[in-house]
Structure 1
């Protein structure tokens, strides 16, 4: 098994350090000698075709793959939060109860209220999850993740089920929250435009290894029509094995 070194401290240079990571399911090797480092506060997006190992990598970082055969070195902090595509709110708990789930101490509810206010849901603490839209539920999920002040935030296609306009609003919200709380972020997505819009660095995972590692040096908000944006998008689509003009949006084929 891989050496899983939880508990990296604030003094460590990298929030995540992975060396020669291998993960296998039976005879199928999903991660094949993967190397990766994520700096404190860095926002990294991970692209890849279905079956390339994206979710397997997230599970390894979250410490959830104990039964998977593997090897290599993996070092991550103890304080990790995960945001899923499904908000996964408990329907029998009100919003505040969902946000502070697992928190202890006299300031837990105060922190929960502040977290809900940060995502635009102040005054909705006693609402039930069923009363919320999909976008609002995902806001609660973000509040629940960030109220714990994680050093590492793992996001597994958190906006994949939302409509296009809601996704744009959620992108802006996530960037604001990350700039405020400064966790390192690893976002798994199938959407090339989402990766470029949000990340400081975009990775492409192919056959269990990092096939591309491209910095995003574009000022925010990022202009989709700009030459640098178009060129970066084309490079990423090419790495994903998609052929065609960058303006046609063929990344869905790569999913």
Structure 2
């Protein structure tokens, strides 16, 4: 066992779980954000996480990614060695062209070939030499997805990756992410404020409230998941109720 900063303990990962979290506590000074949180993700499972602003969703992702060394806490966290993160903004290096952004940190003589394949998968074949500033917001997020998936992660963490996109582009990105997920099959933890996004993409939807999991619901709807069916409406209503929302709007 190795102890991480803040008292977090890393345990040997079980074959039946891509992620196992038990009693996770994370605090900023005197403010406790995650309060004894328990969560498990199976290998290849797609889980969406909903919660009010400030509920600790991003804090949890940072803990899983090993990016929260300045916070205090305790608990056990088991996660894969190969983890990739997609953020709300693409975080491309503006002084590097698209291909160089995707190959950033990659090793091996086939890095360029792998990156080109990844760009082709996200629909950006031929844009390898473009500068980030020449891309639309949706295209930049495609590059970000390519950069994450070219590493063949066992766990993909996505922190509201489509929140800044317009509705049409966001729908296209949902389709793209679903296709890439089926092809690569990492475990995915998607943080979102959008109930419909969670239902459209995930195998399970969890609701974070008070630093703990307040609801954990399987999405047992046939694809494609469309608005208007009684089953969709019932699940959406249950999730909104867990979030304290009495209406049809997104959060």
Q: Does 1:46 align with 2:19?
A: no
Aligned pair partner of 1:89 in 92, 114, 139:
92
Aligned Cα root-mean-square deviation (Å): 1.0
2:169 to 163, 166, 170: 166
Distance 1:26 1:114 in 2: 45
Report deviation, 1:78.
1.2
Structure 1 runs of 4+ aligned residues shifted over 2 Å read: none
Match of 1:71 among 36, 59, 74: 74
Residue 114 of structure 1 is matched in structure 2 by 117
Deviation string, structure 1 residues 87-125 (Cα, Å, up to 9, x no partner): 011111111000010001110000000000000001111
> How many residues are treated as equivalent by the alignment?
245
Q: Does 1:241 align with 2:244?
A: yes
Which residue, 105, 125, 128 being the options, matches 2:128? Answer: 125
Tell me how far 1:12 sits from its aligned partner: 1.3
SS in 2 for 1:60: helix
Q: TM-score, normalised by structure 2?
A: 0.96
Secondary structure of the residue aligned to 2:139 is helix
Per the TM alignment, residue 67 of structure 1 is displaced from its structure 2 partner at its CA by 2.0
| Post-superposition CA distance 1:196-240 (Å, at most 9, x none) | 000000000000000000000111110111110000000000000
Q: For residues 173 and 76 of structure 1, what CA distance do their matches in structure 2 show? A: 25
Uncovered stretches (5+) of structure 1, i.e. residues with no partner: none
Question: Structure 1 residue 4: deviation in Å?
Answer: 2.4
**Partner residue, 2:4:** none
Encode CA deviations 1:3-61: one digit per residue, 9 max, x unaligned.
024x74xx711000000111111111110010000000000000000111101100000
Q: Which runs of 5+ in 2 are unaligned?
A: 1-6
**213, 217, 220: which one pairs with 2:216?**
213
Matches within 5 A, 1:136-155: 136-155=139-158
User: Could you tell me which residue of structure 1 aligns to residue 9 of structure 2?
Assistant: 3
User: Matched residues in 1 for 2:172 and 2:226: separation?
Assistant: 16
Number of the residue aligned with 1:103: 106
2:195 pairs with 1:192: yes
TM-score (norm 1): 0.94
The one of 27, 31, 36 aligned to 1:28: 31
